[in-house]
Chain A
């Protein structure tokens, strides 16, 4: 900028400000502290990357037994390739594992299709209902000649996705209702919401899972049992909802009071006002923090290990207890980390996309 005094008719900025060199100067060596940080980080990367490549790709083995792995110098990716079906599907009966596979494919296809806001209509709602029904039948069996599979056998990635998907799907509306409850003028509703939110937020998820699994059955009459997966699912939903509620409350508080007044003076009742005027605006404001919560809810499903459910992290652990494969936890966990990363990254991209689409609604070119 300071060069502008040199010659007025100069049209292009000085070459040191543009192109590669400009970019490097601007982003990597802009000031003493940044320059030092850049050099240190580059030095570290130069030292570590070749070693990693050597280990992960050059010296590595891919499709061997555990014994050969122990002899190899590099990474033993065999721990994943040889155990992939147990790792992904856990204790789900071996011959039936195509069923959770198909269910997951349906789920992911539906999610991918639903990524465009303007595809969200009634038909899509029916399609979702049908898909959920099919997925349920596939997982549980007992209909259409499918062998029934106890939910205690559900494990691995399908279990992780199931707990996360329903955890998110149910906790979001519940959280919104709790946030509205907390703002309610009716003392009973308000008190209930506040107490609920504060208690749940004061307790770790692990405790809730433990209570749902160990203590809750004590209160049930003799002979009545509630599915363990369902109990874990409920605990995750109740837990996540409390956090969603607080984020949504923030969005509600950010709303201009005039919006409430305008809606009320039109004669809209409370539910119409919330649904049509307040929530569409408030929920949009809080999309970023909401997604943060949903992503951590996804990661937190791995805590179901505490009540002996075998989500994908737990199936990995039990592979590693096999003497043939002990010692290859780095490789196994890198694989799991990649799966988690792909899921979390997709979630954040997904939400950003929807957020953008809601933004575009405000450009003048868009017709009805």
Chain B
């Protein structure tokens, strides 16, 4: 593939987008779930996606690491276009980390093993090195003492932080978050958001689907509003919240704020 060489280039801040979505459509059978999505994400940019339930937010970010297949248009991640080519898909997945609403930790593996399975099998990192890496990221998400436990033995907030650390162990260039705090009890939301804020400060490229508007205001470079499978409005956070342009955005904001 010709994409081979381009993907090897380091993505420096030369304002070449790290994610490009061009005229992308997706259907579930007859249901047109994503309509003409266009989005460019620069390296180190932080984007918050919001919108009503069922508007296609999850589907859009899941297309970026090919958990869902799009039917029209192009998605180019770090120079690699997502096509049926399995090699490209696997390469993109190693560069894109994903954090899910329900954590999706592997319940039969210890927390440490959850973190090392990717590095050992995908990156071919030696076991000892992978474990050191895992402990490093567990410290970053502030739960190194839980390494030997199983996911079922720690709280929801801790599980989600483990999930974040698991993705980070793959040293991704991009992190996708799909409502990472909406399955959590209120007192645990902050501990997860704090970790995400740290990550943003470190310069990670992030796309975060969330309704945590406080988070959006502090870290987002841009907020995107989706409704009925379309990107209705996008703006930098202050303008987005204080001066929304579209009626649908106004309605949505009046409901959640």
Which range contains the number of A residues in contact with the other chain?
20 to 34
Pick from B105, B112, B121: contact of A268, CB below 8 A: B121
Is there an interface contact between B108 and A281, defined as CB atoms closer than 8 Å?
yes
* B126 contacts A by Cβ under 8 Å: no
Within 8 A of B (CB), among A231-268: 256, 258-259, 261-268
**Cα of A85 to Cα of B110 in the assembled complex, Å:** 52
CB proximity of A103 to chain B, nearest CB, Å: 36
**Cα of A364 to Cα of B67 in the assembled complex, Å:** 33
- Chain B residue with the shortest CB-CB distance to A270: B86
* A368 contacts B by Cβ under 8 Å: yes
* A5 contacts B by Cβ under 8 Å: no
Pick from B86, B97, B102, B167: contact of A258, CB below 8 A: B102
CB proximity of A93 to chain B, nearest CB, Å: 50
Is there an interface contact between A266 and B170, defined as CB atoms closer than 8 Å?
yes
Say whether, besides A362-B150, A364-B149, A368-B110, A266 and B117 are in contact (CB < 8 Å). yes
- Chain B residue with the shortest CB-CB distance to A262: B104
Pick from A277, A284, A368: contact of B106, CB below 8 A: A277
- Contacts between the two chains (Cβ within 8 Å), count: 69
Is there an interface contact between B94 and A267, defined as CB atoms closer than 8 Å?
yes
**Cα of A269 to Cα of B87 in the assembled complex, Å:** 10
Within 8 A of A (CB), among B143-163: 148-150, 152-153, 163
Is there an interface contact between B90 and A269, defined as CB atoms closer than 8 Å?
yes
**Cα of A272 to Cα of B166 in the assembled complex, Å:** 17
Is there an interface contact between A259 and B118, defined as CB atoms closer than 8 Å?
no
* A280 contacts B by Cβ under 8 Å: yes
In the bound complex, residues from chain B placing their C-beta under 8 Å from that of A268 are 117-118, 121-122
* A367 contacts B by Cβ under 8 Å: yes
CB proximity of B69 to chain A, nearest CB, Å: 11
Within 8 A of B (CB), among A313-339: none
Is there an interface contact between B166 and A266, defined as CB atoms closer than 8 Å?
yes
CB proximity of A368 to chain B, nearest CB, Å: 6
* A276 contacts B by Cβ under 8 Å: yes
In the bound complex, residues from chain A placing their C-beta under 8 Å from that of B148 are 367-368
Say whether, besides A256-B104, A258-B100, A368-B110, A266 and B118 are in contact (CB < 8 Å). yes
Pick from A259, A267, A361, A367: contact of B122, CB below 8 A: A267
CB proximity of A286 to chain B, nearest CB, Å: 14
Is there an interface contact between B67 and A261, defined as CB atoms closer than 8 Å?
yes
* B65 contacts A by Cβ under 8 Å: yes
Within 8 A of A (CB), among B96-144: 96-98, 100, 102, 104-108, 110, 112, 117-118, 121-122
Is there an interface contact between A272 and B67, defined as CB atoms closer than 8 Å?
no
Is there an interface contact between A284 and B118, defined as CB atoms closer than 8 Å?
no
CB proximity of B191 to chain A, nearest CB, Å: 21
Is there an interface contact between A284 and B93, defined as CB atoms closer than 8 Å?
no
Is there an interface contact between B90 and A261, defined as CB atoms closer than 8 Å?
no
In the bound complex, residues from chain A placing their C-beta under 8 Å from that of B105 are 262
B 156-191 to A, binary, CB cutoff 8 A, 1 in contact else 0: 000000010011001000000000000000000000
CB proximity of A271 to chain B, nearest CB, Å: 10
Is there an interface contact between A265 and B67, defined as CB atoms closer than 8 Å?
yes
Say whether, besides A281-B107, A284-B108, A265 and B96 are in contact (CB < 8 Å). yes
CB proximity of A76 to chain B, nearest CB, Å: 54
**Cα of A277 to Cα of B121 in the assembled complex, Å:** 12
Say whether, besides A258-B104, A261-B67, A269-B90, A364 and B121 are in contact (CB < 8 Å). no
**Cα of A284 to Cα of B106 in the assembled complex, Å:** 14
In the bound complex, residues from chain B placing their C-beta under 8 Å from that of A272 are 121-122
In the bound complex, residues from chain B placing their C-beta under 8 Å from that of A361 are 108, 150
- Chain B residue with the shortest CB-CB distance to A269: B90
**Cα of A364 to Cα of B111 in the assembled complex, Å:** 12
A-B contact pairs, 27 of them (CB 8 A): A259-B104, A261-B104, A262-B105, A262-B106, A264-B65, A264-B67, A264-B93, A265-B65, A265-B93, A265-B97, A265-B167, A266-B93, A266-B166, A267-B93, A267-B94, A267-B122, A267-B170, A269-B86, A276-B117, A361-B108, A361-B150, A362-B150, A362-B152, A362-B153, A364-B153, A367-B148, A368-B112
Interface residues of chain A, those whose CB is within 8 Å of chain B, are 256, 258-259, 261-269, 272, 276-277, 280-281, 284, 361-362, 364, 367-368
Extra contacts, 13 of them, besides A256-B104, A272-B122 (Cβ < 8 A), are A258-B104, A259-B106, A261-B67, A261-B104, A262-B98, A262-B105, A266-B117, A266-B166, A267-B93, A267-B122, A268-B117, A364-B153, A368-B148
Top 6 nearest A-B pairs (CB, nearest first) are: A262-B104, A258-B104, A267-B94, A266-B118, A265-B98, A267-B93
